[in-house]
């Protein structure tokens, strides 16, 4: 029996996740969902912690976890999000953040160009170290003499494993992105690991770009990329850029993976969007495509392809939410995807 833990979370999270779960159910794969309803901002406000150890045990016992969105303006405390998403990310050691970008229809890209041949790439972001490792501090905070330091951490093993994952995820090419000309120590480590690992895949085109050039190319030639692999902070920025070029936040899916253990957390790239929660405007495509990534990892590649094809078909026919040019609400857009699966 395959069990998927579901964390609907906050804002539009429950609305979009409901459509993703219904779409997977429609495929009839016998997947069981364990819904953790208590992990949200309201629980955090009531008991000062959103995720109990018992919740975490249920996540750990599952074959994957599908998350809607965690975060709400009523809980500005960063400990809330950290206690949920970062806890899962670190305790399950989900070191590879995989964000595929595939343009569903030309009308959705800000870079409309009839000569362009489809955008279909993925960003692999190192998810556990880099600038977001939480190492640093401030001297004399709040004074005119304040000095703040945040340290960017790169380890040989951390870099090697994410490079290996990126090389395994590619079919055409891998582009390693860093800023070794300005961030010398970490850049040097990335370059040495890259020089060694890329030799293991002579069948792939392997190249390197500095992050500023990569940002420019993502706008100018997004169709020239297959897999991009980079560190935590550059990956954060480039994947939002790529998501926008590829059709917008509402379509973007992500997986946080540990390929060795098989653990994975799947979530749309967008946040809880409290401004549109409850209005029916939330686009479920990012959540549905995240569920397709989950199906890939659970060994259901065929059904995952069907789900992607169904999404593409509905978006092409404008049977989708207003952000994609349709006039359906969240539930009707989800129902259209399910109908296209049949
Ligand atoms: P977070 O800090 O949680 O990442 P954020 O401030 O980055 O949140 P999001 O919640 O990602 O913001 O949303 C930004 C805006 O994009 C929202 O206010 C909403 O208008 C729009 N948006 C986000 N997700 C969707 C969606 N699935 N469908 C339609 N619009 C969306
Ligand atoms: Mg955001």
Interface ipTM: 0.94
What pLDDT score does 148 carry?
Answer: 97
Nearest CA to ligand 1 atom 19: 273
Domain 1-105+246-342: assigned CATH number: 3.40.718.10
Distance of CA 176 from the midpoint of ligand 2 (Å): 24
* Distances in whole angstroms, Cα of residue 79 to Cα of each of 41, 44, 178, 302: 11, 10, 30, 39
Instruction: Report which protein residue has its CA nearest ligand 1's atom 8.
Output: 271
Closest CA to 265 of 109, 110, 96, 132: 96
Ramachandran bin of 92, using left for φ above 0, alpha for ψ from -120 to 50, beta for the remaining angles: alpha
CA distance 3 to 300: 14
Q: Give the pocket of ligand 1 (CB within 6 Å).
A: 12, 16, 69, 71, 249-250, 270-273, 275-276, 281-283, 286, 323
243 φ/ψ angles, rounded to the nearest 5 degrees: -60, -40
pLDDT confidence of residue 115: 59
> What pLDDT does residue 113 have?
65
Separation of 276 CA from ligand 1 center, angstroms? 8
CA of 220 to the centre of ligand 2 (A): 24
> Ligand 1 centroid to 272 CA: how many Å?
6
Ligand nearest to the CA of 252: 1
Ligand nearest to the CA of 237: 2
User: Which residues of the chain are modeled with pLDDT < 70?
Assistant: 112-117
**Which ligand 1 atom sits nearest the alpha carbon of residue 323?**
29
What pLDDT is stored for residue 119 in this prediction? 86
CB-side neighbour CA atoms (13 Å) of 319? 16
Average pLDDT, the chain: 95
* Domain ranges, ordered by start, for the chain: 1-105+246-342, 110-120+131-230
Nearest CA to ligand 1 atom 5: 271
Atom of ligand 1 nearest to the CA of 282: 28
Query: pTM for the whole thing?
Result: 0.94
Tell me the catalytic residues: 132, 179, 212, 236, 240
Ligand closest to Cα of 268 equals 1
Q: What span, in angstroms and rounded, lies between the C-alpha atoms of 269 and 99?
A: 8
């Amino acid at each position: 029996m395959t069990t998927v833990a579901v964390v609907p979370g906050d804002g539009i999270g429950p609305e979009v996740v409901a459509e993703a779960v219904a779409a997977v159910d429609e495929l009839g794969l016998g997947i069981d969902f364990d819904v953790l309803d208590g992990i949200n901002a309201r629980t955090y406000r009531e008991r000062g912690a959103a995720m109990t150890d018992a919740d975490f045990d249920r996540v750990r016992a599952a074959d994957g976890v599908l998350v809607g969105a965690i975060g709400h303006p009523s809980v500005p405390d960063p400990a809330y999000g950290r206690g949920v998403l970062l806890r899962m990310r670190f305790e399950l050691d989900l070191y590879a953040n995989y964000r595929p970008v595939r343009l569903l229809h030309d009308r959705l890209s800000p870079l409309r160009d009839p000569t362009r041949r489809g955008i279909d790439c993925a960003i692999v972001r190192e998810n556990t170290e880099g600038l977001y490792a939480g190492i640093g501090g401030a001297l004399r905070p709040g004074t005119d003499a304040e000095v703040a330091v945040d340290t960017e951490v790169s380890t040989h093993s951390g870099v090697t494993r994410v490079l290996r994952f990126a090389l395994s995820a590619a079919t055409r090419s891998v582009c390693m992105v860093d800023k070794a000309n300005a961030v010398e120590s970490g850049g040097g480590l990335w370059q040495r690991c890259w020089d060694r690992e890329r030799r293991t895949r002579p069948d792939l085109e392997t190249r390197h770009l500095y992050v500023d050039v990569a940002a420019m190319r993502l706008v100018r030639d997004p169709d020239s990329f297959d897999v991009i692999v980079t560190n935590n902070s550059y990956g954060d920025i480039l994947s939002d850029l790529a998501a926008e070029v590829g059709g917008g936040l509402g379509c973007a899916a992500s997986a946080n993976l540990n390929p060795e253990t098989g653990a994975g957390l799947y979530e749309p790239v967008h946040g809880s969007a409290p401004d549109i929660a409850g209005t029916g405007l939330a686009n479920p495509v990012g959540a549905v495509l995240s569920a397709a990534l989950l199906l890939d990892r659970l060994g259901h590649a065929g059904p995952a392809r069907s789900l992607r094809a169904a999404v593409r078909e509905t978006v092409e026919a404008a049977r989708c939410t207003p952000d994609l040019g349709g006039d359906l609400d969240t539930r009707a857009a989800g129902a259209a995807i399910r109908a296209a699966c049949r």
